[in-house]
Amino acid sequence: MNIKMIVTDLDQTLLKSDKSISDYTAKILKACKQQGIIIVFATARSECDCKSYTDVINPNAIISNRGALVRIGNNTISRITIDAETTNQILLSCLEQPSIRYITVFTDKGYFVNIPASEHDPNWGKYNPDRYTDFSQGLDCDAYKISVEIFDDVTADIIAASFPAIDVIRFSGEPWFSFGVNSVNKCDGIKQLAANFNIDLKDVAAFGDDFSDVEMLRKCGVGIAVDNAIDAVKDVADHFCDINDRDGVAKWIEQNLL
């Protein structure tokens, strides 16, 4: 394999279940960079939510918010957002649904939430500045994504059906759904980065575990599913690696690329 770029999802793929990166995984990724292999994070997380991991690994590029924002360092390669009017219409639809408790919105102005977060909660530190609002007055900015906590299987689809340009993705194993522009996906972000780095897609290896990873594993030259991945990801994978809690991504890279 002549892999020139490695793209990896974070949660339940590169990260352990406790949301940490092991010293072994960090060592392997740094060794890849030393050999000239491009390292890319591709995640549904916001860019600020990746900071603790980018500080450790210093990836060459980040595809965040499911692909809505693609950046190489401080250079923005692509930015696709939900316009302010549509954002507020989606928020109004969410407020009308009794099955929705938590609403979160990622924007360039910060992270908006409808349930106040304690400033002493370490889990919220990475989201600063976070802003509490009940969303009744709407927002005056566009959004990368709107994530909501829903405790049934139909509400998200009902809301998305009213917005032809918007789709919704569920996070497996969690009652969370993410609304975003339907042209946004991680795979398109990879294509843009590959073109920027003058790398053919066949020379890209992609690792993932969840619904938002299916297309990138299907389209990249080598698609690798962690053993804890959902069936939809395993069905399109070319290879498999050990589970995230046993450093599956790093083990596969060391055995096959280094």
Q: Per-residue pLDDT tens for 201-250?
A: 999 999 999 999 999 999 999 999 999 999 999 999 999 999 999 999 99
What are 152-197's pLDDT values in tens digits?
879 999 999 999 999 998 887 788 899 999 989 999 999 999 999 9
Which pLDDT does position 115 carry in this prediction?
A: 82
Residues 100 and 19 in one domain: no
95 and 163 within one domain:
yes
**CA separation for the pair 151, 156 (Å, rounded):** 10
Q: Which domain holds residue 204?
A: 5-79+184-256
pLDDT per residue as tens digits for the range 75-93: 999 999 999 999 999 999 9
Residue 19 has what DSSP assignment? S
At 82 the pLDDT is 97
Q: What tens digit of pLDDT does each residue of 18-73 get?
A: 999 999 999 999 999 999 999 999 999 988 889 899 999 999 999 999 999 999 99
Strand 176-181 relative to strand 166-170: parallel, antiparallel, unpaired?
A: antiparallel
pLDDT at residue 134 in the model: 87
Domain end (from 181, 213, 243) = 181
- The number of distinct structural domains making up the chain is 2
**Does position 124 have pLDDT exceeding 70, yes or no?**
no
Q: How far is CA 36 from CA 2, 170, 189, 199, 240, in A?
A: 12, 35, 20, 12, 24
Domain boundary among 155, 181, 207: 181
Verify that 66 and 92 share a domain, yes or no.
no
14 & 139 share domain: no
Domain containing 146 — which CATH number? 3.30.1240.10
